[in-house]
Amino acid sequence: MAERSKPQKVISAEEVLKTEILVNQALIDILLAKQIITEEELIASIQNIKQEQKRLLTDRKKIVPLK
């Protein structure tokens, strides 16, 4: 016999974002505490990601949509 699934709780985007921030902070804290990465490496990685996102956004604006 098939089990009935519980109704899914609707989660707001704000709640999802808050959870994501908490998880990311916990992972960063663990990586730093275990000296797997340094704070400088973390900052450099964040800067690289920001630059890449900026580049992708700039490239995306150059695309001319077909009409």
Are residues 32 and 39 in contact, defined by beta-carbon separation less than 8 angstroms?
yes
Q: How far apart are CA 51 and CA 59, in angstroms?
A: 12
Say what the pLDDT of residue 20 is.
Answer: 97
pLDDT in the model for residue 53: 92
Tell me the Ramachandran region of residue 5: left when phi exceeds 0, alpha when psi lies from -120 to 50, beta otherwise.
Answer: beta
Each residue's pLDDT tens digit, 18-50: 999 999 999 999 999 999 999 999 999 999 999
Which amino acid type is present at position 16?
Answer: V
The overall pTM is greater than 0.85: no
**pLDDT above 80 (res 66):** no
Check pLDDT > 80 for residue 64: no
Answer for the pair 42, 32: CB distance below 8 angstroms, yes or no. Answer: yes
List the domain boundaries for the chain. Answer: 16-59
